[in-house]
Amino acid sequence: MPVDPPDAAALSAVAAHYGLDLDADAIASFSPMVHGLLGSWDAVEELYAATAPTMPERAWTRPEDADNPFNAWYVTTSIAGAEDGPLAGMTVAVKDNTAVAGVPMMNGSTTIEGYTPLRDATVVSRMLAAGATIAGKAVCEDLCFSGGSHTSRTGAVRNPWDETRSAGGSSSGSAALVMAGIVDVATGGDQGGSVRIPSAYTGTVGHKPTWGLVPYTGAFPIEATIDHLGPITRTVADAAKVLNVIAGPDGLDPRQPRDLVPDDYVAALARGAEGLRIGVVSEGFAQANAEQGVNDAVRAAVDTLTGAGLTAEEISVPWHLHGAKIWDVIAVEGPAVQMVDLNGYGMNWKGLYDPEIIEYYGNKWRSDGSQFSETVKLVLLTGGAAINRYRGKHYAMAQNLAIELRKAYDEALSRFDVLVMPTLPLQATLIPKPDAPREETIPRALEMITNTCVTDVTGHPACSVPAGLVNGLPTGMMIIGKQFDDATVLRVAHTFEQAVGGFPTPSVASTAGSQA
């Protein structure tokens, strides 16, 4: 479709926006030059149309409530992959921020509802090639900006351990479906902890890979410097199996090092973890909302690891307590520009864009900005005010401080093989009622991220495993490793899993699985 040539009024509005001080004669002078230059936009659109893929025909269903345990599915489908491969026979729930071609993608938000991708995300095409079956799209939080499971426009996702409580976010549906046994594995996205938060709340294994290890291509971005995709599974072995399939460069995501060579994470588990050194980060136990039962469960889990032949020592990483503040600035100003003003993908990076969703989402949110979630409204009010007044100065400061934060972690990891702390300072909280005020819903969306968000800023790999049950609910232990040494993180996680004889499941798991 040819680009609409702007009339004099449209050009005057642009001139006013940039303060160009152009009168009517100047606008008239520029007009034919602008129209001529826009001919290249028409040429690009024609060339793109000739190379864009054709959307595949794939059957899908929006399940009724009776067929949607825990309200965890957005849509269900059955897309069979290769006949054999490392994931053959395994069913996968794909977080609904990640594209499955021909299947609707909502990202939990009315601002994207109605969009259907043309292309599979890289992680989806890799899992299909490895023999997996895509069972559907799992509900995620509204634009993925919540650590609670109450913001999706399809309704709250309920925790299989206690349906009055949060399943965690933003990969809420993914974790609930895995814990309930409805699917074998799921994908999650993580910008502030969104793989590990629902894993800690539901008792699943959630691995946030090193930043850049897994291509983000085809997932809806929030902020390029903190975007991650990773697996949510019942066992560490399954997490390693999925990571083997989805890790590695795809040539389309500039977050990834060009010389990246992934490890064999499944083979690494066989090496065990005896003799490895654990740094127990005291600041991770000292968050203001820390629950004693959570801290005690994680320290007991460390004792289990020492009993399995590892050594542990209490250490201090003072920068850890600065991490959440640094994340606040990056994860507020960055998304205000990239995720909203520039329609998700932003500009100025070389990689595969999604032009269709950029236009669809950009038009839809501008037609009714009131449809943004309360958390995104907070981001826009805060980020917009700061950028308008200070022009991004604090974002630049925070990114510079992120280097210092990363160095602090690297220094600690020069003395230890992994670092350990509670994944979250607290256990799953009650789901707010639909009419709850923003004074309740916003804190409930962000109260748990203080430990997890730090490694989104630094990029270090971090895996949450169930540390044990407290008051009948799961707790999470987070294991953090050196950059691109995801294998050692998983070795320690696997050793703990073996030492405790596997992780517990709620009684509802077997019955929920039969409803799928």
What pLDDT, in 10s, does the model give residues 480-503? 999 999 999 999 999 999 999 999
Do 213 and 74 reside in the same domain of the chain?
A: yes
Sequence-distant (≥ 6) Cβ neighbours of residue 36 within 8 angstroms? none
Mean pLDDT of 96-113: 98
> For residue 371, what is the domain's CATH number?
3.90.1300.10
Active site residues: 95, 170, 194
CA distance 251 to 309: 40
Is 86 in contact with 244 (CB distance < 8 Å)?
A: yes
Where do we find the tokens 């539901």? Answer: 202
Residue 360 in domain: yes
Torsions phi, psi for 205 (to 5 deg): -95, 125
Is 317 in contact with 408 (CB distance < 8 Å)?
A: yes
Task: Report the share of the chain in percent with pLDDT over 70.
Answer: 99
Pairing of strands 91-95, 185-190: parallel
Residue 45 in domain: no
Question: Looking at the predicted structure, is the pLDDT value of residue 220 above 50?
Answer: yes
Sequence-distant (≥ 6) Cβ neighbours of residue 192 within 8 angstroms? 147, 226, 327, 331, 449, 452, 453, 456
Pairing of strands 473-481, 418-422: antiparallel
Mean pLDDT of 302-315: 98
Domains held by the chain: number: 2
CA distance 293 to 428: 13
List the beta bridge partners of residue 420.
280, 479
Distances in Å between the Cα of 355 and the Cα atoms of 11, 117, 383, 384 are: 24, 10, 25, 25
Residue 9 in domain: yes
Do 141 and 13 reside in the same domain of the chain?
A: no
Find the domain containing 429 and state its range. 60-513
Do 22 and 103 reside in the same domain of the chain?
A: no
Assigned token pair, 383: 């980020």
Q: Is the dihedral of CA 254, 134, 344, 440 positive or negative?
A: negative
Do 78 and 33 reside in the same domain of the chain?
A: no
Q: How does residue 171 score in pLDDT terms, banded at 50, 70 and 90?
A: very high
Question: Looking at the predicted structure, is the pLDDT value of residue 516 above 70?
Answer: no
Q: What pLDDT, on a 0 to 100 scale, did the predictor assign at position 508?
A: 74
Region of 63 (left: φ > 0; alpha: ψ -120 to 50; beta: rest) is: beta
Q: What pLDDT, on a 0 to 100 scale, did the predictor assign at position 514?
A: 46
Question: Looking at the predicted structure, is the pLDDT value of residue 512 above 90?
Answer: no
Question: Looking at the predicted structure, is the pLDDT value of residue 385 above 60?
Answer: yes
Q: What pLDDT, on a 0 to 100 scale, did the predictor assign at position 515?
A: 47
Do 9 and 83 reside in the same domain of the chain?
A: no
What pLDDT, in 10s, does the model give residues 258-307?
Answer: 999 999 999 999 999 999 999 999 999 999 999 999 999 999 999 999 99
Residue 182 in domain: yes
Residue 64 in domain: yes
Do 367 and 422 reside in the same domain of the chain?
A: yes
Do 32 and 71 reside in the same domain of the chain?
A: no
Residue 50 in domain: no
Q: How does residue 2 score in pLDDT terms, banded at 50, 70 and 90?
A: confident
Do 215 and 281 reside in the same domain of the chain?
A: yes
349-379 burial code (b ≥16 CB/10 A, e <16): eebbbbeebeebbbebbeeeeebbbbbbbbb
- The upper half-sphere exposure of residue 35, i.e. CA atoms within 13 Å in the direction of its Cβ, equals 12
Mean pLDDT of the chain: 97
What pLDDT, in 10s, does the model give residues 19-46?
Answer: 999 999 999 999 999 999 999 999 999 9
Q: What is the pTM of this model?
A: 0.97
Sequence-distant (≥ 6) Cβ neighbours of residue 369 within 8 angstroms? none
CA distance 68 to 180: 12
Assigned token pair, 439: 């004074």
